[in-house]
Amino acid sequence: MQKQPFPSVPQAALVLLACFLLQYLVGVLLYDARRSLGLSEDQIVPLGLLLADGLLAAALLQFSGMSYRDLLHPSRSSVGATCLLLVPPVLALVPLTLGLDQMLISALQSVWAPSAWEQAAFERMMAPTLATALASCVLAPLFEEMLFRGLLLRAFLQRYPRGVAIVCSALYFGVAHLNLYQFFLAFFLGLVLGWLYERSQSLIPCIALHAALNSAVFALSKQAPAEAAAEAPAISANGLAAFWLTALALAALGSWALHRLLRRGRRADGA
């Protein structure tokens, strides 16, 4: 009897629980060693998350018997061609995704105001330091895509219908963020990234989209403080309309290009 790929959907819940426990343990160790390592409290949280995700991804990779090359780009198409053809249309999706994210967060905050703990956690994750920028914009997209698309979704696609596999992986991706405000964007983004991975058979476009979106969110969080922003003139209706029209046009163009390039994604990888 052929061995089923690991993990299944129920097993992935245990993987996610192990990820949470590992994040907690790594965070405690970093906090205890913060003076020896010269870490600030703002650096401990993102560094702990990344170390835990990286360790878990490495352990699962070893257990699955895959190489990093097979994990990152199992497609037979070249890395260069994938970057040249898929990354530009993927990046065209960022403005619309970012705009929808800001609208959703504003709507949620008007209904459920974030607690003091959640607000402090968001501020630590977006602290204006080089370590936080590197963690949010580079390492988090890499490790999270390795874990949720390269390992979990890949196994799900071999065990379940592709729609079920993509939805389940997106759900786990949303839950992993541990707060309501990021859950919905992460779930929606997980659906897009899941479709992109299933069609392209590569983590490269997934990492590019994830990194670009995280970088845009991080850059926006570094704008003027709330006091200065409150005094700044409001964006005109024409400026807002121009942004949405541009974002919609770019997203439509990028979606069309991806559909054309990946419409036969179920056939042989080399195609």
d(CA 188, CA 186): 6
Confidence of residue 210 (pLDDT cuts 50, 70, 90): very high
Give every CB contact of residue 264 below 8 A, 6+ residues apart in sequence. 271
What are the tens digits of pLDDT across the range 54-74?
Answer: 888 888 888 888 888 889 998
Per-residue pLDDT of 122-140, as tens digits, reads 777 777 777 778 888 998 8
For residue 75, how many other CB atoms are within 10 A of its CB? 20
Is the pLDDT at 208 greater than 90? The verdict is yes
For residue 61, what pLDDT is reported?
87
**pTM to 2 decimals?**
0.87
Burial level of 55, CB count in 10 A (0-12/13-18/19+)?
middle
Whole-number pLDDT of residue 79: 92
> How confident is residue 235, by pLDDT bands cut at 50, 70 and 90?
low
Q: pLDDT for 29-55, tens place per residue?
A: 988 888 888 777 777 777 787 788 888
Q: What are phi and psi of 228, to 5 degrees?
A: -70, -35
The pLDDT value given to residue 224:
44
Band of residue 181 on the pLDDT scale cut at 50, 70, 90: confident
* Residue 146: predicted pLDDT: 93
Report the pLDDT averaged over residues 96-114.
85
Contact 176, 98 (CB under 8 A): no
- 186 vs 178: which has the higher pLDDT: 186
- Per-chain mean pLDDT for the chain: 84
Three-state SS annotation for 91-118 = HCCHHHHHHHHHHHHHHHHHHCCCCHHH
Q: What is the largest CA-CA distance in the chain?
A: 68
